Amino acid sequence: MGSTPVSTVAGRASIDRCLLDLDRLDPEHIRQILQGAAAHFESPGARHETLRGRTIANLFFEDSTRTRVSFTIAAHRLGADVVDLSSKGSSVTKGETIADTARTVEAMGVDGIVVRHHAAGAADVVAGAVQCAVINAGDGRHAHPTQGLLDALVIAREFNRIADFDLRGLKVGIVGDLAHSRVARSDIGALTKLGASVVCIGPPGLAPQALKTLGCEVTHDFDAALPSLDAVQMLRVQLERGARVGSTREYASQFQMNERRMRLMKRGGVILHPGPMNRGVEITSEVADGKQSRIFLQVRAGVAVRMSCLELLMSSR
């Protein structure tokens, strides 16, 4: 739906109008975004004029702390204006479709729309309804491309791979509720396209064997997997999306990242979490606040990645 998200200009691949998921990008596009992001990461707080005079609308139909604020800060650092719209307090509560909401916002002269929605495919619907740039900030269980990109940036930096973003030889575990996680799907997309090995770890109901079709391994034995892992991304159990675990205590005994498990990882291994964290469930506070945690670096990388995406999608339009 909508125009093709990528195109080739003068023989060089470039990102076109929309970033809807990472499946539609090839490794070269991912590297292009990450190269821009790595530059922004090293100069946090720097102000640019790249998008001066442009307006970006945040259409967030689902709760968010870091993603929404991160897109807003990224847009401001590029000189753009930002308007915020959420379902509460908008005409969505009166039955307006998201396509009509998006067209309405575009008719007011918006140049880019960032959309988050509880339904998979919502960002595609918006992209098909408007002519302006569209970035998916998370649609149901489907995709969260900027999260996948920022996690790849953090891992690449950690293991000195930012010169070429070649992650071959690294192994990343994604642990917990993969079944309901758009973050997991986008992480797998970004990491495998850059050459990393990915292993999905969780109970059978939350880490189904079907994930293998995405090009990763699947295991239900966290302790056995840990010695081969360079990085571990811990996921929240997404109860609001229908995830079920028997008891929290039983779940934590098998799949919580704690200090004992951290010591089982490869030397120099790091811990990631996209947030929001449920401390004491999938991760202990000792680990979340410990030396191997890169959780707040992920947040910082998020601004850099979103700046790079906004620039690539909007600066030439």
Residues 6+ away with beta carbon under 8 Å from 95: none
236 binds ligand NCD (CB under 6 A): yes
Place of tokens 């920022």: 150
Nearer to ligand NCD, 2 or 302 (CB): 302
Nearer to ligand NCD, 106 or 153 (CB): 153
Query: What are the beta bridge partners of residue 279?
Result: 283
Nearer to ligand NCD, 5 or 302 (CB): 302
Per rule CB under 6 A, count of chain residues that contact ligand NCD: 11
In angstroms, what is the minimal distance from the CB of 223 to ligand NCD?
Answer: 24
31 binds ligand NCD (CB under 6 A): no
Give the phi and the psi of residue 117 in degrees, each rounded to 5.
-155, 150
What letter does residue 8 receive in the DSSP assignment? E
What letter does residue 191 receive in the DSSP assignment? H
273 binds ligand NCD (CB under 6 A): no
In angstroms, what is the minimal distance from the CB of 146 to ligand NCD?
Answer: 9
Distance from C-alpha of 118 to C-alpha of 213, rounded to nearest angstrom? 24
In angstroms, what is the minimal distance from the CB of 7 to ligand NCD?
Answer: 28
144 binds ligand NCD (CB under 6 A): yes
57 binds ligand NCD (CB under 6 A): no
What type of residue sits at position 64? S
Q: Which of 68, 71, 77 is nearest to 43 (CA)?
A: 77
- Which of 66, 103, 118, 157 binds ligand NCD (CB under 6 A)? It is 66
* Residue 168: alpha-carbon gap to chain centroid: 20
User: Binding to ligand NCD (CB under 6 A): which residues in 101-140?
Assistant: 138
Place of tokens 């739906």: 1
In angstroms, what is the minimal distance from the CB of 93 to ligand NCD?
Answer: 21
Alpha helices in the chain (DSSP H): 27-42, 66-77, 98-107, 122-129, 145-158, 182-193, 222-225, 248-255, 259-264, 285-288, 295-314
Nearer to ligand NCD, 32 or 67 (CB): 67
Place of tokens 């269980």: 141
Nearer to ligand NCD, 183 or 188 (CB): 183
User: Binding to ligand NCD (CB under 6 A): which residues in 160-199?
Assistant: 182-183
Nearer to ligand NCD, 24 or 241 (CB): 241
What letter does residue 266 receive in the DSSP assignment? P
In angstroms, what is the minimal distance from the CB of 33 to ligand NCD?
Answer: 17
Whole-Å CA distances, 153 to 33, 40, 41, 162: 10, 11, 9, 8
In angstroms, what is the minimal distance from the CB of 251 to ligand NCD?
Answer: 15
Q: Is 160 helix (H, G, I), strand (E, B) or coil?
A: coil
What type of residue sits at position 153? L
* Residue 177: alpha-carbon gap to chain centroid: 15
Distance from C-alpha of 208 to C-alpha of 206, rounded to nearest angstrom? 6
In angstroms, what is the minimal distance from the CB of 147 to ligand NCD?
Answer: 5
Nearer to ligand NCD, 240 or 250 (CB): 240
Residues that bind ligand NCD (CB under 6 A): 66-67, 138, 144, 147, 182-183, 236, 238, 274-275
